[in-house]
Every structure is written in C-alpha cells, then in structure tokens.
Amino acid sequence: IALGEALGELGQNDAAIEEFKLALKSEPKSVPALDGLAKALIAQKRYSAAIAYLKDGPSDPALQDDLAVAYSSNGDVAEAVKLLAGLVQQNPTSADRHARLGIAYTQQSQFRQAVDEFREALTLDPSNDVTRLSYVKALIILAEFQAALPEIQSYFRRKPGDFDALYLMGVVDRGLGDYVAAEPLLKQAEALNPNHYDTRYNLGFVLAKLGRPQDALLHLEKAVQLNPASSEARFQLAAVLRSSGQEQRARQELEAFQQKKQQSVKENVAGTKVNQANEYFQAGEYQRAADVYREALVEDPGNPRTYYDLALTLDRLGKTAEEREALQTAIRLDSSLARAHNQLGFLSMQAGQEAEAEKGLKEAIALDPGYAEAQNNLGVLYGQQGKNKEAEELFREATENSPEYTQAFINLGLILAGESRFSEAEQAIRSALKISADNSQALTVLAMVLTRLERTAEGIGYFKKVIELEPKSSGAHLNLGIAYADEFNLEGALAEFSEAVKLDPNSAPAHYNKGRVLLDLRRDQDAKPELETAVHLDPQYAEPWYLLGLIEKSAGNAAAAVQALQKSGALDPKNPDTLFVLGQELLHTGDRPGAIAQWRKVTEINPEHGEALYNLSRQLAQSDPEESKRLQSRFETLQTQKQLMDRSQTLGNFALASAAAHDWPEAISQLKEGIQVCGSCTALGQLHKDLGLIYLHSGDTKNGLQELGEAKKLTPADPDIDKAIRIAQAAQR
C-alpha cells in the first residue's frame, strides 16, 4: 500500500494500480488499498473500473467520496447526487460533503439546490474559499447579486489581487447596476487574464453603459473573437457600433446575431429530429432513423454526434461505405470523439485493414483510457494477429473498466483456452455467465473448455442447454454431435449431425461431420454422399476429400483413392496423414516413385513418422541401398527412443498413427497383428487397450468393451481403462 501511494504521488499510476491490486489479494476489503486504487483509476479516467471496485466495498466515508467522484466524472451525475445526498443525511455536519453535493447539483444545472448546499457548507466551515467561490458563481447564475455581495466582498478583502476576486466582484457590481465600481475591477481582471471571455464581455458591457462606446468596442470585439458562438456579445457589439455611427458594421453584427439565433433554432429543430431518429433506431426502424438523421444534419450540418449516430444506423443497414464516410466526417468535425475512432477502427478490422484498425482503436483508447469496447476490439485484433499476451491484457482491462461487459469476458476465455489455460478460461466464461446466464456463445465456449478439462459429461449438459435456447441452430447441434463422438456415442452424434444438416443443408461442416461419423460406423456408402456434398459446398475443404480417399481405399479403388487424396493434399500440403496414405495408394497403382516422393514429404514434415521411414527404407533397398540403410538406422533409433523393442510394439505404434489419421480398418488390422505377434509379451495389455479404444472410436462398442476387458485383466490399475469402460457403457445405454 505504501509503495502504491508513493508511486501514485509520482504520477506512476499504472505501477501504483498493480501494487494496490496485490494488497487487495491478501486483504480484499482493505480501505487504504481500495482508496488508493480508486484514486489511481480516477486519475487515469477509468471511472467505470473505479466504480466496480468501490460499489461493493466497505461503507467507509473515504471510499464513498471516491465513489461519488467516479460517478460524477463518468457522467452519472444523478447517481452521484443520490449517493452524496445520502452521505449528507448520514453526516449533516460535514462541510465537505455539502460542498460536493453542491458541485454535483451544478452539474445538473440545479442551481437553487446547489446554493443551499454551498450556504450550509460555509456555515459549517466559513474558512473554505473554494466553496465560497462556488457559492458566489451559483448566486450570480440565479441573478441573486445582493446575496452574493457580502461573500465576494469577504473574499476580495483577503485576496484583492486574485483574478476570481476581481472578476466576480466586478460581475456582482455590474449585476447591481454599479458600473463605476465594476469598471476598475474588471479592468484589473482583464489585465491578469486577457483571454477570459466573460471578463471581456462584462467589461465591454459596463463601458457601454458608462457611455464609452469606443472603449467598449475593443473588449466586445475581443469577446466575439474568443467566443464566436456568443449571441449576447454580438448583440452588444452591434449596439455599440450603432451608437458610434458605424451603421454598416452594426448591420453586419446584427445579421450575424440573427444568424446565430436562427442557427440556434435550427439546432433545436435538429435536436428534435435526432430524438425522433433515436426512437426509430431503438424500435429497429433503421431506414427511417437514417432518413431523419439526415434531415437533422441539413439543419445542423456541423454536429459530429449526429454523424456518429447516423453511422451506427448505417451499420445496421449494412451500408459500410456510407458508414465509413459518416464516421470520417464526425472525426473531422471533432477529433476527440473516441466512439467514432473506435467504430472506424472496428470497420477497418472487419475489412482486414489491420494497420488502420490498430491506429483507430489506439486513438480511441488514448482519448478515453477507460473505453472498454475499444479495448475489447483491439484485443480481438491482437488475438487475430497471434499477439495473445497483448490481447489478454486488453480483455482484462476491458472487464475491469466495464465489469458487466459479457463479450470481453468471453473473449478473455477464448484467448486463455487457445493457450490451453483451461481452468482460467473456465473462470472467465463463468464470469460472463454471471452477467448473462443464457448467453449461447458463453455456454458453448464453456462446454468446449469443460471437454478439454475431461469433464465431458458436464460439457455435454451445457451443449444441450444451448440447443434448448436455440433449437434451430445448426451449429449448436453440430457441437453436441462432436462431443458425443468424443464420448464414443456415435449414434447420438449421428442424430445431432443429421439434425444440423436438416437445419442448414448448405453447411459443409455439418455434412462433413455426418459423413465422418457414418464412416466411423462402417457405413461407407452412406458416408460417401455426405462427404461429396461437403466438397461440393466447399471445394477448398481438405478433410472430406481425405475421408473420400479412405472410402475408396477401403473399397479397393486405388486410382479413385489417389484422385481424392491428391485433392486433399493440394489443399492441405502439410498434412502428413494425407500424404502417407496417398503414398500407400500410389504404390498400389504401381507408381513407386510417386509413393517415395510422398513419403519423403512426410518425413520432412514429421521426422519421427516411423511408418514412413520404414516404408521408404524398404522401397529404396534396391535402388539406393546407402540411403535405405540411413533410413533404417533412423527408424531403429526412433524405435529405441520410444522403447519399442519388438515388432508387436512397432505394429501398435503404426496402428496409433493410422487411428490418428482416421484409418480405422488399417489401425485395427495392425493391432490384431501386433497382438498375434506379441503372444504373452509385456506390451499385450497396452495393445488390447489401444484396440479397444479404436473399436470404440470406430463405433464397435461390443468389441471395444471386450478388448478393454482383456486389457483390464492384464493391467487392472490403469484408470484410463476404467474411464473408457464407463463412457462406453454410458454410450450403450
């Protein structure tokens, strides 16, 4: 805590925040740590984050004051007033709280209530000149100059050279009609701050009242220069010009005054139209909203916020080019509009313009350091670029700055899951579900994470819940089917994939997965049309081409298998499984050089692919005996490293590779041969176990359970066997 406070005093708020967070880990309700953390976050304009930490914190006066400041600074003045009013009621003798409440009332333009609070604060603490000045300013706004007079006189007597003393004393005298007394005071204030609009305007007004138009002219012209939008200054300037005989200039200023009035009327009309457009937008009538926003911009073409609102509406209408143009106009009119920078960055990200997207999103965050949506969007961009560490930091900041931001928690969970940090991912996704219990995306991600944590039954429950929420979602049925397949419930998987195809006949993944599970169930002829449909819908889909190759291989159609496998290999040239099987089929068609070429590619991609090394060694024995020996040596070294000391174990290893490649018949054949060769060798239990698991994955539950039973007799302490038996029996039921 002490280090955090010291860092905060040095302005190193990022480091201070980390220290206060560390303190809160050991003592979550520490008032000094929460106070320091809140002040550091407020200093960074991360008001939502400060509110999140404070609103559930202890009811400590310091923390309540911090919370009020955070609410007020975040634009939630009503909440700040409510909180401060409660604090004043709890402690009516606190001058500071009355003063804070008064300031909050001024932010709501409730000046009568503000005056009452400032008066009470001064009664409790007459020495507080900051409150006194706030009190005087509120009284001036209410035109209660007589009440303001003794307060500003008291301040002026003590600080006669202070700008506020001179300026406010002059304004009060002017309000009371004492122009002679006001003039020297305002002149002294103007000398201290020549670019203060109100001083220039009031001094010009006073000089005009004193019959000195030439002197007044100088200050009123400066006032108009400082604030061109001021209609009051232009009106007074026109009056002074007329009185000094400058009729043409007076008419020009009056015309400008009238234009400002007309512009004000137009802005009011535009404001009414914007309100109507907002209602259309909320009702989902986006075209009507866009039309009315455009009408508002005809009346008030310089309003950046209206351009931003129009852009959001055009986004809903899918008019991206027009949306981009509206956002660029909004930024040109007001470069500090963080939301426009964020939306423009988001558009660039969608268009694949990564540099422009990063620039826009960073600008949004620089303008508003607590802007959670921009942080989330930049995190998504970094995630797409593989910058997972930076993405994680941004998602965490987004969730901290906006604790109710469901999507940021989901994205954090996705990044963590992508790094295999599944327990942390689960925590992030459950945080999302606390906010939005029926969020289908969060439920889906949680289900996937749970399956990776080997809590598949629990994950399946969440997949089912997604289907309850979205029964017509093809993707939801697809996800449940994949989970069923992982649990050896191939019939259940087939039912879900079939439903996915029914709901979305144009989904290539749905047809592919249905074909895959039919292939696992040895229903090759039923699988084939599904896989053919998948590649028809998506000709660049490598996986179904591979499975079509396996079907042709199983049917003994080597030429057709080669054709399908070559298509798969062309689409996914780094897949060793495809290239290995392609080599086998090329050899069956008599293309020995082609087979050798494919297996060479396999060993380049995966130098530890034992079966490819073995096959190459055999095929090169006559044509290149030296290379054959080198390959055989590599193969034997690999076998030694894997402790595969006999042929049965080698066959078992080959079988696992075949299973990984989804070539179940080859895997089963190799394992059966391995068991036969093994006899009663030490690897027999493992071979039965692997054969049992492969039977289960290929849909043969009966033989799978039989082989697992044999494995259990030989290795009764293997927990994986018990688990597989339980899952298979559950799938049977």
- Identity of the highest mean pLDDT range in 13-27, 51-65, 469-483: 469-483
Residue 268 reports pLDDT greater than 80: no
Residue 628 belongs to some domain of the structure: yes
- Rounded to whole angstroms, how far apart are CA atoms 564 and 544? 9
- Rounded to whole angstroms, how far apart are CA atoms 344 and 73? 26
Grade residue 652 by pLDDT with cuts at 50, 70 and 90: low
587 and 668 fall within a common domain:
no
Q: What is the mean pLDDT of residues 529-541?
A: 96
593's tokens = 């050089």
Q: What is the mean pLDDT of residues 630-652?
A: 69
Residue 367 reports pLDDT greater than 60: yes
Per-residue model confidence (pLDDT) at position 649 = 62
234's tokens = 């232009």
The residue count for the chain: 733
Residue 684 belongs to some domain of the structure: yes
List, in order, residues 6 or more apart from 474 with CB less than 8 Å away. 499, 500, 501, 503, 504, 507, 510
Q: What is the mean pLDDT of residues 152-178?
A: 95
568's tokens = 């798969």
Per-residue model confidence (pLDDT) at position 566 = 96
Nearest C-alpha neighbor of 649 from the set 613, 700, 685: 685
Grade residue 261 by pLDDT with cuts at 50, 70 and 90: low
Per-residue model confidence (pLDDT) at position 236 = 79
636 and 677 fall within a common domain:
no
Alpha-carbon dihedral angle through residues 336, 338, 343, 348, given to the nearest 10 degrees:
70
575 and 661 fall within a common domain:
no
Residue 467 belongs to some domain of the structure: no
**Helices 406-418 and 440-452: crossing angle, nearest 10°?**
20
552 and 631 fall within a common domain:
yes
Nearest C-alpha neighbor of 129 from the set 147, 109, 106, 156: 156
List, in order, residues 6 or more apart from 98 with CB less than 8 Å away. 88, 117, 118, 120, 121, 124
Residue 642 reports pLDDT greater than 70: no
- Long-range (24+ apart) CB contacts under 8 A made by 156-159 are 158/129, 159/129
Q: Residue 286 in 3-state DSSP? A: helix
Q: What is the mean pLDDT of residues 500-514?
A: 96
Q: Residue 1 in 3-state DSSP? A: coil
Nearest C-alpha neighbor of 137 from the set 166, 104, 101, 168: 168
Within a 13 Å sphere around the CA of 676, how many CA atoms are in the beta-carbon half? Answer: 6
670 and 594 fall within a common domain:
no
Per-residue model confidence (pLDDT) at position 186 = 96
632 and 659 fall within a common domain:
no
- Rounded to whole angstroms, how far apart are CA atoms 409 and 202? 54
- Rounded to whole angstroms, how far apart are CA atoms 486 and 601? 30
Q: Which residue has the higher pLDDT, 378 or 21?
A: 378
Q: Taking CA 542 as the corner, what is the angle to CA 538 and CA 548, rounded to the nearest 5 degrees? A: 95
Per-residue model confidence (pLDDT) at position 535 = 95
625 and 680 fall within a common domain:
no
**Which domain CATH number covers 558?**
1.25.40.10
How many C-beta neighbours within 10 Å does residue 440 have?
Answer: 16
Per-residue model confidence (pLDDT) at position 171 = 96
Of 595, 621, 642, the domain-final residue:
642
Of 622, 642, 662, the domain-final residue:
642
How many C-beta neighbours within 10 Å does residue 118 have?
Answer: 30
Residue 590 belongs to some domain of the structure: yes
Average pLDDT of the chain is 88
Grade residue 274 by pLDDT with cuts at 50, 70 and 90: confident
**Contact indicator for 676, 650 with CB cutoff of 8 Å:** no
Per-residue model confidence (pLDDT) at position 700 = 79
List, in order, residues 6 or more apart from 407 with CB less than 8 Å away. 376, 432
Q: Taking CA 137 as the corner, what is the angle to CA 133 and CA 143, rounded to the nearest 5 degrees? A: 140
- Rounded to whole angstroms, how far apart are CA atoms 208 and 243? 9
Residue 266 reports pLDDT greater than 80: no
**Contact indicator for 446, 426 with CB cutoff of 8 Å:** yes
- Rounded to whole angstroms, how far apart are CA atoms 1 and 366? 27
How many C-beta neighbours within 10 Å does residue 357 have?
Answer: 23
Q: What is the mean pLDDT of residues 708-721?
A: 80
Of 591, 615, 642, the domain-final residue:
642
Residue 63 belongs to some domain of the structure: no
Residue 126 belongs to some domain of the structure: no
Could you read off the pLDDT of 222-253 as tens digits, one per residue?
998 898 877 787 777 777 777 777 777 766 66
Residue 644 reports pLDDT greater than 50: no
Residue 643 reports pLDDT greater than 70: no
604 and 689 fall within a common domain:
no
Q: Taking CA 601 as the corner, what is the angle to CA 562 and CA 550, rounded to the nearest 5 degrees? A: 30
694 and 665 fall within a common domain:
yes
**Contact indicator for 103, 73 with CB cutoff of 8 Å:** no
Q: What is the CA radius of gyration of the chain?
A: 38
631 and 687 fall within a common domain:
no
Percent composition of the chain: helix, strand, coil (DSSP 3-state, to 5): 80, 0, 20
551 and 630 fall within a common domain:
yes
List, in order, residues 6 or more apart from 34 with CB less than 8 Å away. 20, 24, 53, 54, 57, 58, 60, 63, 66
Residue 618 belongs to some domain of the structure: yes
Residue 111 reports pLDDT greater than 80: yes
Grade residue 659 by pLDDT with cuts at 50, 70 and 90: low
Per-residue model confidence (pLDDT) at position 718 = 77
**Contact indicator for 324, 356 with CB cutoff of 8 Å:** no
Q: Which domain holds residue 546?
A: 540-642
C-alpha pair distances (Å), 485 with each of 218, 513, 516, 727:
86, 10, 10, 11
Could you read off the pLDDT of 536-574 as tens digits, one per residue?
999 999 999 999 999 999 899 999 999 999 999 999 999
Could you read off the pLDDT of 93-107 as tens digits, one per residue?
999 999 989 999 998
Nearest C-alpha neighbor of 570 from the set 535, 591, 540, 597: 540
The sign of the dihedral angle between the CA atoms of 578, 580, 581, 584 is positive
41's tokens = 């976050």
Domain count, the chain: 2
Residue 70 reports pLDDT greater than 60: yes
Lowest-confidence segment of 68-77, 124-133, 360-369 by average pLDDT: 68-77
663 and 712 fall within a common domain:
yes
Residue 262 reports pLDDT greater than 70: no
The sign of the dihedral angle between the CA atoms of 152, 156, 157, 159 is positive
- Rounded to whole angstroms, how far apart are CA atoms 606 and 603? 5
Share of the chain above pLDDT 90, in %: 57
Alpha helices in 504-591 (DSSP H): 508-520, 524-537, 542-554, 558-571, 576-588
Residue 688 belongs to some domain of the structure: yes
- Rounded to whole angstroms, how far apart are CA atoms 230 and 218? 16
- Identity of the highest mean pLDDT range in 77-91, 115-129, 628-642: 115-129
Q: What is the mean pLDDT of residues 518-532?
A: 93
Lowest-confidence segment of 40-49, 139-148, 571-580 by average pLDDT: 40-49
How many C-beta neighbours within 10 Å does residue 453 have?
Answer: 14
Residue 673 reports pLDDT greater than 90: no
Q: What is the mean pLDDT of residues 103-129?
A: 93
